[in-house]
Amino acid sequence: MAVPANKEELQHAIQTNYDKLRKELLAIPHELTQIKNLEGHSKGTLMSINNLVSYLVGWGELVLKWNRMRDNNEHVDFPDTGYKWNELGKLAQKFYNDYEHDDYSVLLEKLDRTVKNI
């Protein structure tokens, strides 16, 4: 896939790829979404599909936060306040924890909303 050259191409790429991902996520049986059998975002850890969707929501919300802060001429701590670029595994764990009480269907709704807002 070519790198998008403008806003419209980027929006199209996001939507096209998200549509493919969403189709795959919807095909996963609900009862399998909490089983930790995927390689996690930190070395030596495992994550569930719920964790993966939480991670995607977390990063999407973080991108939206960066844009809001930039639009308000506020300082942005990259990647997020209290985290350094070499601590992304810890940030992933934060995202898992932020959404750990959300049901899979709720997580998918949040991901839909986040992608739409992006």
Q: What is the pTM of this model?
A: 0.91
Tokens of 49: 């599909």
The rounded average pLDDT for each run of 10 residues, N- to C-terminus, in the chain (118 residues) is 86 94 97 95 93 98 96 96 94 96 97 96
Q: Running DSSP on this structure, what letter comes out for residue 3?
A: P
pLDDT of 75: 95
Max CA distance (Å), the chain: 44
Quickly list DSSP for 64-78: HHHHHHHHTT----S
Residue 27 backbone phi and psi in degrees, to 5 = -80, -10
Contact (Cβ atoms closer than 8 angstroms) between residue 114 and residue 57: yes
Per-residue confidence (pLDDT) for residue 1, from 0 to 100: 63
